[in-house]
Amino acid sequence: MRGSIVGIALAASLAGQALAQTPGAAVEATINHFTDAVNHGDMAGALGDLGPAPTIVDDLAPYRWQGAGAGGAWMAAMGANAQARGMTVINMRIAKASRIEVSGAGAYAVVPGALTYTFKDGHTEHAEGALTFALQRLGEAWKIDALTWTGPREKP
């Protein structure tokens, strides 16, 4: 009896470790790290999660960034847009991915998100939508190859 309890505990432990290291979990971990880095102004951390020549589509002009400098240019555009509109904080909250597909070294993920914008005068506006990602595994790491924000305009 004691041996079977130890065996069951060991099997459960190994199963938990296997689940924690599934490709889907690794993809979601990259997305979570990227979002946290952007929220905390950690440009180096966020850029480190991007592939070598990503494509980014967002709801601010010029709407699409592509290539080696896309991540930095997109972040600069977000900063300029926030400054021009009088925003002091932009915070993205993401939910658990509603869909993750992994095939070999490629992955696709859809993640519901909610943006909160805080303005200099103290009022906030909100927008809900989805982030859609395409990722590529480079070595042992998943890197974001493309991302798109889709959702309606923000509202008070």
Domains of the chain, earliest start first: 22-150 (3.10.450.50)
* CA–CA gap between residue 76 and residue 62 (Å, rounded): 12
Tens-place pLDDT, residues 18-40? 445 698 999 999 999 999 999 99
- The mean pLDDT value for 104-108 works out to 97
- The mean pLDDT value for 84-111 works out to 97
Tens-place pLDDT, residues 121-142? 999 999 999 999 999 999 999 9
pLDDT confidence tier of residue 79, bands split at 50, 70 and 90: very high
pLDDT for position 21: 63
- The mean pLDDT value for 2-20 works out to 44
| 121 CB-near residues (< 8 Å, 6+ apart) | 86
pLDDT for position 156: 84
Q: The whole model's pTM is what?
A: 0.84
Query: Are 118 and 85 spatial neighbours (Cβ–Cβ below 8 Å)?
Result: no
> What ranges make up the beta strands (E) of 58-105?
64-66, 87-94, 99-103
Element (H, E) at 119: strand 106-119
The alpha-carbon radius of gyration of the chain (Å, integer) is 19
pLDDT for position 14: 41
Token duo for residue 59: 């709801």
As a whole number, the mean pLDDT across the chain is: 89
